[in-house]
Structure 1
């Protein structure tokens, strides 16, 4: 006989895979399923996803995890609500008329839009933004003041502009007022709630705050920016909070179950790690690495290369909570590069063993600028750089320098956060695949000079969306705690600072390498 349960499902649509995890009220995992989906790299600097494949994989993961839950003896209706968390800046364009994608989705890591960014940088200088009726301001500051973001290839409005300019199907749909634009959570939710038959087009505020189109003070689309980028306002989704019921799933094993939490993956990890108060910080080490520092109900304008973003909004009428964010484009993907392209390791986990054969990197620094540098450097022309190579250098030094690269970039972001916020950081909570390595965490603590706290249950991103979804129907509280382990600082301060000075010199040598890049159709 099946046991009744009260569970929350979390659909985690990441950069390389989709997972569906079913949690009980103690944040223990009842069942889960994960599937990788294809990555497309048609030209240098390009990174595409097929949005239909993401949706198909999501539905398969849901079906498989529900099947496993039932096989374990739980009733099929035990899942009371689901949340969705997602890779954030990836841009999806689809037809409201057919419900189908009009082109491949452009992934957050993609850098094809460098010339598009240059065009709008010039427009900011020459024309500016209409900040009030008839009042125009020039330069980059008005954009930062409204959105908390700089112009960059990173954000989704720039990707959408490139789609309209380069894909005739997207341009035609935009002209005919049949275009729907969204980030991944918007696309997946659209399909789960019925697709073209219902045309429920929503986006929540953490994802919207990564588009270059949201006013982070009013939590509304900023029409002056919509006009600045040349978009029709009708292409944009309706804005919702991170914790409310958006509708019910239209088909499949969860038909009739409400979707009650939407959140960008990094903000989901912030919630899952319980970094809910001013001064608390987490970093997720996945394909890239993303460090969020909670600033409470205050928007902190960064003067040191960071982003001001929305952390979460715990209901339609709740005040938003804000964060400073620093993003590292290449983290776990550098380890995959060592595995797949350099053949130095056969599995990602082996990097810790290989790096552990040496006590230091032998004077080697690896600036992992495979697609430029993000925070706090913001140099799209930076190139990947291995510097300090000598006859003494061996594969173990390269492996260790790869782990140190993540630690040094983390330190660069944290130093900027401290300058912006005036608040010191006693510890950093971490999650993501790279945190499974004890050596990687020891290196992070030593390079950073702070305690690293690693949760025993490391599905923080999925847990965050589950907490938001459960809260939307009054099922879960926010007081769930899980065991944690600590990595303490062991390196002497003098050694740490010597390494830090070397890293800064290596970064300077990597900057500005790639110039005059042209878009390739």
Structure 2
């Protein structure tokens, strides 16, 4: 009888469930968005109970649509939005506050206080990431300091805190399991990536207790069993949990040191597998756990870019140069190749590897003959330049030569962008024939652990389109020099 794997991708905008057959092919996907709760301060929250009820609803819908018997589902894998954090009452399972989303910077004052107290370098050395409200620690500290019952529950060891994966595991197992995986733990800013344990000193500095945090497990561990509150006839094991970018790295088959992937979304995550030992970046990258599989932890270098696909949305929605993202490829191809226009998309500062929160965006090199096509091309090209900057920095800091770049996300359907990415990076760019790489990563890990999939076979079934550089070195050097000059001009204005 056929066996299936259920993949859950709990992302910032919504939750998806995908059903994979016994060969690893996605046969159905159902998704549902949830509210983005944003106030006039720009604070961003999600309702964790809304997310939980949405998951039950779309899982029921998926079973109805596919007519698959729940007894034939062998395991569940979960990927989730990273850094988003929440707290709940351990005794009754009720959230004490909404989930605070990764985008929310309300913990900035807490980070400033810790930095003033001399914790900045210690946090970076212990956790691999710079002290920042972007990560979960400051969000959880804010809850403890500002939500009435949080302190008393914490003092009584009745407070449970964690990231969205730990919340879903807790709800799916009926409150029996409070667990997370190494990839999510490493993004909280509370986990020591050297000792592979919650860092008591850092937790205390944030006003938290390690005992309130979830148990950290292998990414392919058995997290417990679930019947989705009676939706399934019998409980099935939860056998895979990853943060979404880590799940995409795994789903891309980047399982050996030196392999690198870039996810093109609103922004971009560029991530390199660096193997069994951490490398502390000196030039603006962060170090995290990729995952731990069967007791074997592996690390990554990561660079996050604020604006890649969002720059295309800006062209469409704000300046109205295009009506749809599809137009960008043809316009870029029609542009004058001699035009020297560059665009630096620092709409809200520059991320890795420049880290200038005060930078603002700018066009440079515009002349009288610069037109719509040239402006659009400059915006598209800026995506490739930013990815290339980080990939080359990873090669430098890791000492591992890049063989190619595996990519995923909506903008990878832009053949002009993919070719230019290969040209400017001077490495093959490989686009898989499947989407939803985060869900695939979690589902494949769960399926392998459940004995449904064979590693080489299931990953070998993914085929890729490869874009190879056709650009000469002189032209590449000229273009990259112009980009670097534009970056310097942008940074000089702050």
Specify which of 164, 170, 177 is matched with residue 190 of structure 1. 170
Which residue of structure 1 aligns with residue 108 of structure 2? 114
Which 10-residue stretch deviates more, 413-422 or 174-183? Answer: 174-183
Partners of 2:200 and 2:209 within 8 A in 1: no
SS in 1 for 2:117: helix
Which residue of structure 2 aligns with residue 440 of structure 1? 417
Query: 5+ residue gaps in structure 1?
Result: 129-138, 515-521
SS in 1 for 2:95: coil
Which residue of structure 2 aligns with residue 407 of structure 1? 384
Whole-Å separation in 2 of the counterparts to 1:119 and 1:75: 54
Partners of 2:200 and 2:210 within 8 A in 1: yes
Q: Are residue 86 (structure 1) and residue 90 (structure 2) matched? A: no
SS in 1 for 2:38: coil
Q: Are residue 290 (structure 1) and residue 287 (structure 2) matched? A: no
Whole-Å separation in 1 of the counterparts to 2:162 and 2:282: 29
Q: Are residue 277 (structure 1) and residue 256 (structure 2) matched? A: yes
Alignment of 1:305-320 (within 5 A): 305-315=284-294, 318-320=295-297
Change (3 A) 1:384 1:176: farther
Alignment of 1:42-441 (within 5 A): 42-43=39-40, 45-70=42-67, 74-124=68-118, 128=119, 140=121, 142-168=122-148, 170=150, 173-174=153-154, 177-194=157-174, 198=175, 200-250=177-227, 251-254=229-232, 256-315=235-294, 318-360=295-337, 362-389=339-366, 391-441=368-418
Partners of 1:381 and 1:512 within 8 A in 2: no
1:424: how far off?
1.4
Q: Give the TM-score, by structure 1 length.
A: 0.87
Whole-Å separation in 2 of the counterparts to 1:380 and 1:45: 16
Q: Deviations over 1:376-413 (max 9, x none)?
A: 22233333334445554444333322322221111111
Partners of 1:215 and 1:222 within 8 A in 2: yes
Q: Are residue 508 (structure 1) and residue 485 (structure 2) matched? A: no
Whole-Å separation in 2 of the counterparts to 1:54 and 1:391: 52
Partners of 1:404 and 1:447 within 8 A in 2: no
RMSD: 2.5
Whole-Å separation in 2 of the counterparts to 1:17 and 1:395: 34
Which 10-residue stretch deviates more, 446-455 or 34-43? Answer: 34-43
Whole-Å separation in 2 of the counterparts to 1:179 and 1:82: 27
Which 10-residue stretch deviates more, 164-173 or 13-22? Answer: 164-173
Whole-Å separation in 1 of the counterparts to 2:338 and 2:212: 50
Change (3 A) 1:446 1:223: same
1:484: how far off?
0.9
Which residue of structure 2 aligns with residue 14 of structure 1? 11
Whole-Å separation in 1 of the counterparts to 2:335 and 2:34: 36
Whole-Å separation in 1 of the counterparts to 2:435 and 2:230: 29
1:287: how far off?
2.5
Partners of 2:199 and 2:210 within 8 A in 1: no
1:9: how far off?
1.1
Partners of 1:297 and 1:322 within 8 A in 2: yes
Which 10-residue stretch deviates more, 80-89 or 61-70? Answer: 61-70
SS in 2 for 1:211: coil
Whole-Å separation in 2 of the counterparts to 1:328 and 1:385: 16
Change (3 A) 1:340 1:99: farther
Between the two proteins, the alignment pairs up a number of residues equal to 489
Which residue of structure 1 aligns with residue 2 of structure 2? 5
Which residue of structure 2 aligns with residue 132 of structure 1? none
1:10: how far off?
0.6
Query: 5+ residue gaps in structure 2?
Result: none
Which residue of structure 2 aligns with residue 496 of structure 1? 476
1:188: how far off?
1.7
Which residue of structure 2 aligns with residue 134 of structure 1? none
Whole-Å separation in 2 of the counterparts to 1:249 and 1:89: 24
Q: Give the TM-score, by structure 2 length.
A: 0.91
Partners of 1:20 and 1:34 within 8 A in 2: yes
Q: Deviations over 1:126-164 (max 9, x none)?
A: xx4xxxxxxxxxx61x32332111112321112222333
Change (3 A) 1:167 1:500: farther
